Structure 1
Amino acid sequence: MALRHAVLAALMEGEASGYDLAKQFDASVANFWMATPQQLYKELERMTADGLIQARVVEQEKRPNKRLHSITDVGRQMLHAFIADPTKPTVIRDEMMVKVQGMESRDDAAVEAVLIERRGWAQAKLARYERLRARLLDGRSEQAYLSESERIGPYLTLLRGIAFEQENIRWVEFSLGVIRRRSTSDA
């Protein structure tokens, strides 16, 4: 998958500036695709040149002009073709997992610190995802939202992000328990 597919999917929500897309990537798309603002802005320029999106300039008083991007028919066709392609298995590349895999008992404190940091990140992301979920539901039940909403993809991917962070927290807690029990039994 390329960044452009994630951008096209994000633009299905409607017209957005590069700044809005960067915030959207950080808040919701980040549960399945990471991109820096610099990568995003470069990709927006390439996608405009390729005819996948179009941009219009909105003049603003007392602020720089804003470019709003929207998906074109060509971009929509590319996204639908991508959706129809078979999916490749997910590949995980996680520096923390390499540290855990290679640890010895003398590394317990260092790995414990890494795990505690990861738990904090997961808890913060989970809190953001839950706020986004509440905003999407807007007082409706999940069942009502899923039956009434025109586009359910953002909600379904959000649920996957929530489950992922919940599992990260569960695994960190388990791993910390193992390390701490080993440390007290060695003493």
Structure 2
Amino acid sequence: MALRHAVLAALLAGDGSDGDDSGEYSGYQLAKAFDIGVANFWHALPQQLYAELAKLEKEGLVAGRHVVQETRPNKRMFRVTRAGLAEFEAFAAATPKASFIRDDLMVKVQAADSVDTGPVIEQLEERAALAEAKIELFGKVLRKMRGELDEEEFLRRGDRIGPYLTCLRGLALERENRDWGLRVAAVLRERRTDEAR
């Protein structure tokens, strides 16, 4: 997958909740939406998103329009074009590559028998705390998306099911990150204590 597909997916999932047309985001709104949703499976910095929007617009896969604002700086709003939708449909139909984990902290844990685990334990606990914060954020986002519906009813008949389903995966991932981080930190701490005796 290329960043272009992640950006197109984020634009296609736009809901217009900020008062703008459905499926249309400013670069800033896209970065915010990306951070909450797409970033769970595709990381990009805001400047990378802006650069990719410019490329997509040049290729005719997104269209941008200039919006004049009186009390704030002017902005550009972007939406996916028919060509962009065709590009994304071709991507959606292609067989995906297998996913894999690439994580510096797991590399450190792998070598736990050979290094001082004190800093690793701290990093595991920090990661668990960050995961807990994201769990709370995902919970709020999911409740907002569902509105008055309970989850099962929303899954049967709610709008914007794609973003909801990817948020559910992000929630599950962060719960796993938290639980794994806390367990590994506890195991390493106990082993340090035993070795110190």
Root-mean-square deviation over aligned CA pairs: 1.3
How far off its partner does 1:106 sit?
A: 5.0
Aligned ranges 1:15-54 → 2 under 5 Å: 15-54=24-63
Q: Which residue identity does 1:62 align to in structure 2?
A: T
Residue aligning to 1:156: 165
Alignment equivalent of 1:67, drawn from 43, 68, 76: 76
Q: Which residue identity does 1:180 align to in structure 2?
A: R
Residue aligning to 1:82: 91
Give the Cα separation in 1 of the matches to 2:62 and 2:24: 10
Residue aligning to 1:100: 109
Q: Which residue identity does 1:35 align to in structure 2?
A: A
Residue aligning to 2:4: 4
Q: Which residue identity does 2:93 align to in structure 1?
A: A
The secondary structure found in structure 1 opposite 2:66 is strand
Q: Percent identity?
A: 48
Deviation string, structure 1 residues 61-108 (Cα, Å, up to 9, x no partner) = 132211000000000011111111001011221111111112236512
* Bigger helix share: 1
Give the Cα separation in 1 of the matches to 2:117 and 2:67: 55
Deviation string, structure 1 residues 165-187 (Cα, Å, up to 9, x no partner) = 11111111221221122122222
Give the Cα separation in 2 of the matches to 1:85 and 1:75: 16
TM-score, normalising length: structure 1: 0.95
Q: Which residue identity does 1:68 align to in structure 2?
A: M
TM-score, normalising length: structure 2: 0.90
Residue aligning to 1:173: 182
Residue aligning to 1:136: 145
* Runs of at least 5 residues in structure 1 that lack an aligned partner in the other structure: none
Task: Tell me if structure 1 keeps the 8 A contact 2:11–2:25.
Answer: yes
Give the Cα separation in 1 of the matches to 2:168 and 2:174: 10
Give the Cα separation in 2 of the matches to 1:161 and 1:94: 16
Deviation string, structure 1 residues 105-163 (Cα, Å, up to 9, x no partner) = 65121111110111111111111111101111112111221222243111111111011
Residue aligning to 1:185: 194
Give the Cα separation in 2 of the matches to 1:157 and 1:143: 15
Change (3 A) 1:49 1:106: closer
User: Size of the alignment, in residue pairs?
Assistant: 187
| 1:126 lines up with 2:135 in the alignment | yes
Q: Which residue identity does 1:82 align to in structure 2?
A: F
Q: Which residue identity does 2:103 align to in structure 1?
A: D
Q: Which residue identity does 2:65 align to in structure 1?
A: R
* Runs of at least 5 residues in structure 2 that lack an aligned partner in the other structure: 15-22
Task: Tell me if structure 1 keeps the 8 A contact 2:146–2:158.
Answer: no
The secondary structure found in structure 2 opposite 1:107 is coil
